[in-house]
Structure 1
Amino acid sequence: MGVRDRVEQLTRELVLMGSSNHEKGFLERLTFVESYMADLGASVRRFGSSEHPALAGLFGDAKSGGDKGSGVVLCGHLDTVPVGGGWSRAQGELVGGRVYGRGACDMLGGCAAMLLAAENSLETSFVLCFTTDEETKMVGAESLVKTGLLSGAKLVVVGEPTNLCVCAGERGVYHLRITTRGRSAHAATPEEGENAVSKMVVLLGELEALKRGLEGERVVLGVNVVRGGVKVNVIPDTCVAEVDIRFSAPNTPEKIFCLVRERLDRAGVGYELETMQALPAVSTSLEHPLVAKLVEHVHRETGKSPVGEVPYATECAKYVCLNKPMVILGPGNPKLAHKPDEYVEVSELVDAVELYTWIIEWLGNQDSG
């Protein structure tokens, strides 16, 4: 069986593992990948909690911490968002050179390509990492960093979908929850109560003004959840809004928080502000010697040019503390992620296997330092 048939088959298998039970799918995939890497002779270690397990497969000198260090660390995630509705294709269906299914693009196809690349490079020093909560908490990536097993890496490659363009950065994420409090009363006598929704409307007006003021600053702000009130004839005593903010460096979560608080304080109404999630923006210079060589190779082999930044967050935000050059490079169109009829082109999967194999061989056969 050739590379095309194998990567196609492996991608479909990984997709189908979660098609009937989303809550258990990532665990089935984790056990499968754990055995797969062990059968290749890797030293496979499981980390994290039972709720957020993660795997590291160490190959070659990486198993013993030898002179060649860890070479490259290739990172993927085995969890997906729920399948949802609106599909016209079956999970795992192969049509027109495309594998359809939840996670085919984001990013089970990339994981399949990494595993096949590992088969091509069994004597080389490198590490494969797989997590199971990238779509939620990213606790698995944190646990991998804490092990110290990735400290010898020369380069970190996260295989999220980029159409196989080298991406050297990503936007940061800041999720905020705003709560306003009031006092319930009958809607016929509003003077007896205090309307929490009315307070929130004032605050949301300030956020809209802030959003307009940030245009051109590479900051995207959206109020995407609002909850308030229990019945139309009752004055609401609580209202909650959840805000998604994406930002580029040199902005930081701390700076974004201060901007929001300063703006909300102008409203003159009471509120509570809570941080739900904060991930930093990540950036590696395209002129870094390793990144520049990778960009040159990818362009020569595929014709693809680099992208300075992707708009979404990845586990690079957790690996950034390693102080290693990082890129995002994977098969699939990121605009298809989380949508019905998500798919990945088999031809891109084949190219990904070849690119990952080259990266492993290039960095894994160099002496450390």
Structure 2
Amino acid sequence: MNLFELTRALVDIESITENEERVGDFLFDHLSALASSTSGHVERMEVAPHRFNVLAQWGNPVVTLSTHMDTVPPFFASREDSEFIWGRAACDTKGIIASMIHAAEALLAGGGRDFALLFVVGEERNSAGAYWAAQSPIGSRFLINGEPTENKLAMGSKGALRYEIAAEGRMAHSAYPELGESAIDKLLSALDRIRLLELPVDDLLGPSTLNIGTISGGRAPNIIADQARAEIMIRLVGDSGGTREAIAKAVAGCAEAREVLEIPAVRLGRLDGLETTVVAYTTDIPAFGGAWGQPFLIGPGTIHVAHTLEERVPKRQLVEAVEIYQRMVKQLWKQESKSAS
């Protein structure tokens, strides 16, 4: 399949998180055919029943090209026009998978070896595949992680700190509010305090940002609410300790704050000849923890249309990514060779 055909074939396989088996089987078969003619090796790395990472390697990998197979909902199939391929995960990250595979084919055709492809499950929820892979490294010195950066090399990415804020009250008839205690009022007070917090700012990554993503609570308009919940996400650029303390103080006396997730901010590698950027989203890179080598982050497409019903990837950027991935692998081979000599 050519690059655009492969991208569309991948997009047309629904692989919402925890349902990656079909796309994993497709990639295993596709890469097995490539490996059989190029003395490579392909394996399924089981993460959970019916969920596995796909690893293909040639020689003794110095560089690993990696991204995730899972997607956010809802699924919608591919289409294309003269400029774009559209569909769920066209840019996040089925087009990236296709570009990495075509880069691998070109490297092999030129006699290259000592690299790997690793496609993982679960990035969109909890990085389960990357955490599992971190326990089974193969000695790779460099990890090129694919996410939509418009083919610019990301110098860093913000972290994430996610909380559930829960307030408890006491039900009463709404005609007699003095007999109850409104959990919603308490939650709103806690959220107002959180919104006023001064969050960290970083010279490279920029300011931390706060999103109150969900709010729920109460039972009926004529009942004083006995419970209320909110979920918040902070895209964090600094140390989390001070922010944790500030949140605990902000909710004190009104609600409880339960930490759900923390992903640290990261600073990433630089390579000559590539335009650079900084991204606000999180990736699998912290979950790998360096086990697969020094990380780099780059890929075709823009994050601004990922997770939307307008998701698409420019065909031109897919083609460019194939060349960029090849060039990066060759640069890193050369860098490793120099450091070893």
Give the alignment's TM-score, normalised by structure 1.
0.82
Query: Is residue 2:137 matched to residue 1:148?
Result: yes
Which has the higher relative contact order, 1 or 2, with Cα contacts under 8 A spaced 6 or more apart?
Answer: 1
Q: 1:79 aligns with which of 59, 70, 73?
A: 70
2:58 is matched with 59
Q: Residue 101 of structure 1: CA displacement?
A: 0.6
Per-residue CA deviation, residues 27-64 of structure 1 (Å, 9 max, x unaligned), is 21111111222222232232311264222222222xxx
Distance in 2 (alpha carbons) for counterparts of 1:325 and 1:22? 28
Q: 2:25 aligns with which of 20, 31, 34?
A: 31
- Identity percentage over the alignment? 28
- Equivalent position amino acid for 1:126 in 2: F
Contact persistence 1:47–1:144 (CA under 8 A) = no
SS of 1:230 mapped into structure 2:
coil
Q: Residue 164 of structure 1: CA displacement?
A: 0.5
Q: Residue 295 of structure 1: CA displacement?
A: 3.3
Distance in 1 (alpha carbons) for counterparts of 2:161 and 2:80? 37
Aligned residues: 326
Task: Flag structure 1 segments of 5+ consecutive residues without an equivalent.
Answer: 62-69, 85-89, 286-290, 299-304
- Equivalent position amino acid for 2:2 in 1: R
Per-residue CA deviation, residues 264-299 of structure 1 (Å, 9 max, x unaligned), is 33xxx24222111110001025xxxxx3xx332x3x
1:295 is matched with 272
How does 1:210-229 map onto structure 2 within 5 Å? 210=197, 213-214=198-199, 218-229=207-218
Distance in 2 (alpha carbons) for counterparts of 1:314 and 1:22? 17
Q: CA distance change for structure 1 residues 263 and 295 in 2, over 3 Å: closer, same or farther?
A: farther
Contact persistence 2:268–2:297 (CA under 8 A) = no
Q: Residue 157 of structure 1: CA displacement?
A: 1.1
Distance in 2 (alpha carbons) for counterparts of 1:234 and 1:99? 51
Distance in 1 (alpha carbons) for counterparts of 2:200 and 2:16? 38
The structure with the largest strand share of the pair is 2
Q: Residue 354 of structure 1: CA displacement?
A: 1.2
Contact persistence 2:17–2:72 (CA under 8 A) = no
2:88 is matched with 102
Q: Residue 215 of structure 1: CA displacement?
A: 7.6
2:3 is matched with 7
Give the alignment's TM-score, normalised by structure 2.
0.89
Distance in 2 (alpha carbons) for counterparts of 1:258 and 1:118? 47
Task: Flag structure 2 segments of 5+ consecutive residues without an equivalent.
Answer: none
The structure with the largest helix share of the pair is 1
1:93 is matched with 79
Distance in 1 (alpha carbons) for counterparts of 2:324 and 2:129? 26
2:285 is matched with 316
Q: 2:13 aligns with which of 3, 17, 23?
A: 17
CA-based RMSD of the aligned residues comes to: 2.2
Q: Residue 142 of structure 1: CA displacement?
A: 0.2
Distance in 2 (alpha carbons) for counterparts of 1:254 and 1:348? 39
Query: Is residue 2:206 matched to residue 1:208?
Result: no
Distance in 1 (alpha carbons) for counterparts of 2:305 and 2:312? 7
Q: Residue 214 of structure 1: CA displacement?
A: 3.0
Q: 1:254 aligns with which of 241, 257, 276?
A: 241
How does 1:133-282 map onto structure 2 within 5 Å? 133-149=122-138, 152-210=139-197, 213-214=198-199, 218-248=207-237, 251-265=238-252, 269-282=253-266
Q: CA distance change for structure 1 residues 204 and 23 in 2, over 3 Å: closer, same or farther?
A: closer
